[in-house]
Structure 1
Amino acid sequence: MPQFEQIDTFVSQIFWLIVTFGALYFLMAKLALPRLTSILEERENRVSGDLEKAERLKQEAEEVLSDYQKAIADARASALAALKESADEIAAIGAKRQAEFDAQLADKTQIAEDKINAARSEAMEHIKDVAVEVAAAATGKLLGSDVTESKVSKAVDDALGGKG
């Protein structure tokens, strides 16, 4: 085996080792490593570009989100304002209707009180006439003689005036 024969082939093995190492070094330095370097640089550029793009997109998404949230808040505020305005209008209409109803009720109550007072006055007039007739009849039966209507009327007036 030539590996074990050190004296005869040692110099030629060293020579071919140096030639092979030099050729491999040259091939690696001129062909393989520049390709690997360019591939790594390209990947690094692509990754950094993607990271920058992702950061930009993230900022845009945050801006869109804040705009959306502001639009939602504005819509809620305007909806609440519209709701309050509607509630105020409804309350005003209700108050107006209540006032109209109160006025109508007061009118009807006044009319009813007037009718009641008129009926009371009419009844009082009839009561006086009835009282005079009853008193005259009762006095006539008790005394056994007819009493004049003017005397009975005066007595009833006195009695009603004294109580009233």
Structure 2
Amino acid sequence: MAGNAEHTNTGFEIPADELGGAFPPFDHTTYPSQILWLVITFALFYWIMKNVAVPRIAGILEDRKDRIAGDISEANRLKQETDEAIAAYEQALAEARAKAHGLVEDTRDKLKAEQEARRERAETDLSAKLAEAEAQIEKVKTGALTQVSAIASETTSTLVEALIGKAPADKDLTDAVKSVMN
């Protein structure tokens, strides 16, 4: 452990003649070999990047771009189909509403016409029954009036006979009853 020895952190001594001097990357005598290996390594990495990595990345980016464009076009197609379906639905709904409104109007008109026909039939039936009843009443009234005059004549004849003891003449009796009834 004398003289020209260096101690390392590991505790081993390295003789001074093995140390060599400067740090190798900073040693100007090794620059040409370092530059050669730098150029070789750079060229190798450049070739790998140019022929392997960049085409793969470009292919992946192109695939993603194509997939995104396809997805966007599919979304636009689906949106257009949805819009067309919504428009068709709204048109069908409007047609159904119009048809339902027309059916309601037709049904209302039909029911109104049927009701009007029933009312007219009922009025006609009632008018016929009323005319028939009036005719029957007139017949009964005429029959009753003829009977009234006969009854009045008979009653008057009986009263006059009871009062005077003699029955009046039929012509006198008929004239007297007619004059009272009018």
TM over 0.5: yes
Structure 2: distance between partners of 1:6 and 1:66: 88
**What does the per-residue CA deviation read over 1:6-46, in whole Å, with 9 as the maximum and x for residues that have no partner?**
82411559545665455334423432122112201210121
**What does the per-residue CA deviation read over 1:114-159, in whole Å, with 9 as the maximum and x for residues that have no partner?**
1110110000010111112222333444x35234053333222211
Q: Report which structure shows greater RCO (CA 8 Å, sep ≥6).
A: 1
Structure 2: distance between partners of 1:20 and 1:140: 171
Question: 2:66 aligned with 1:51, yes or no?
Answer: no
Larger radius of gyration: 2
- RMSD of the alignment, in Å? 2.9
- Does structure 2 conserve the Cα–Cα contact (< 8 Å) formed by 1:132 and 1:149? no
From the two aligned structures, give the one with the greater helix fraction.
1
Question: Which range moved further: 12-21 or 94-103?
Answer: 12-21
Structure 1: distance between partners of 2:94 and 2:166: 98
- Does structure 2 conserve the Cα–Cα contact (< 8 Å) formed by 1:140 and 1:146? yes
SS at match of 1:7: coil
Question: Which range moved further: 86-95 or 151-160?
Answer: 86-95
Equivalent residue for 1:155?
Answer: 176
Structure 2: distance between partners of 1:121 and 1:17: 148
The amino acid that maps onto 2:24 is T
TM (norm. structure 1) is 0.76
Q: 1:49 to 1:131 in 2, by over 3 A?
A: same
Structure 2: distance between partners of 1:6 and 1:122: 167
Matching residue within 128, 134, 137 for 2:149:
128
Equivalent residue for 2:165?
Answer: 145
Structure 1: state its 5+ residue gaps: none
Equivalent residue for 1:7?
Answer: 22
Structure 1 runs of 4+ aligned residues shifted over 6 Å read: none
Question: Which range moved further: 114-123 or 63-72?
Answer: 63-72
Identity %: 28
Structure 1: distance between partners of 2:89 and 2:181: 87
- Does structure 2 conserve the Cα–Cα contact (< 8 Å) formed by 1:136 and 1:146? no
Q: 1:25 to 1:6 in 2, by over 3 A?
A: farther
